[in-house]
Amino acid sequence: MPTGIAMHDARERLLAAAERVLLRDGQNALTSRSVTEEAGVSKGVLHRHFADFDDFLAELVRTRIALAENEIGSLQGSEPLVENLAQALTSVFTPVNLGLVKAVIARDGLRSRLRETTPQGLPILNEASASLAAYLDAERRVGRLKPDADPRTLAMTLVGTGHLLFAGELGGLPDESAVREVVESVVVSAVS
């Protein structure tokens, strides 16, 4: 393997460039041309490392899903519940992740490509919900939630509201305390 390092280098350069484009110009500007230009390489490079553009984006999504799941998975049970949940939502709904969700919605090809990995639903949102449900279930078993609390419903409610809140799609401005407010209002009925 002559230039083994450079090979991975190009992959990472392209993925990082895609994030920058996504943040700067939005999901509609996320094209094969803009990404390769941002990365400072020619168009052909992308097709050497990825089958096609949707494959490239799918890899980007998978990377970010793994990050979000790790963030939630590393939550410490010693912290207050509301604190943990608010932080989990904050670390999941980063600007990049919100942009990726929109990109998946806007692209049929990307969506069907991800279906090979994720059975159904929107990636990131789906995974975040599952991770949160697992965390809440653990807290329930420890006794920090009522025994009859439904972790899945709680997680869905948190992810659904958090998503629109962080994306600024609901009501007024995404107030700094709005997230905490939502989290409290959702979990108050479930804490023991």
The residues of the shown chain that bind DNA, judged by CB under 7 A, are: 2-3, 6-7, 10, 29, 31-34, 40-45, 47-49, 52-54
The residues with which 191 forms a beta bridge, in sequence order, are 145
Q: What does the binding site for a copy of itself look like in residue numbers (CB under 8 A)?
A: 26, 28, 102, 105-108, 120-122, 125-126, 129-130, 133, 150, 152-157, 159-165, 168-173, 178, 181-182, 185-186, 188-190
For 164, the token pair is: 């629109």
Alpha helices (runs of H) in 107-177, residue ranges in sequence order:
108-115, 125-142, 151-166
The site partner of 171 among a copy of itself, DNA, none (C-beta below 5 to 8 Å per kind) is a copy of itself
The whole-angstrom separation of Cα 72 and Cα 86 is 11
Q: Which is nearer to DNA, 55 or 184 (CB)?
A: 55
CB of 112 to DNA, least distance (A): 13
The whole-angstrom separation of Cα 99 and Cα 159 is 16
Q: Which is nearer to a copy of itself, 7 or 170 (CB)?
A: 170
Is residue 189 a contact partner of residue 81, using CB atoms and an 8 Å limit? no
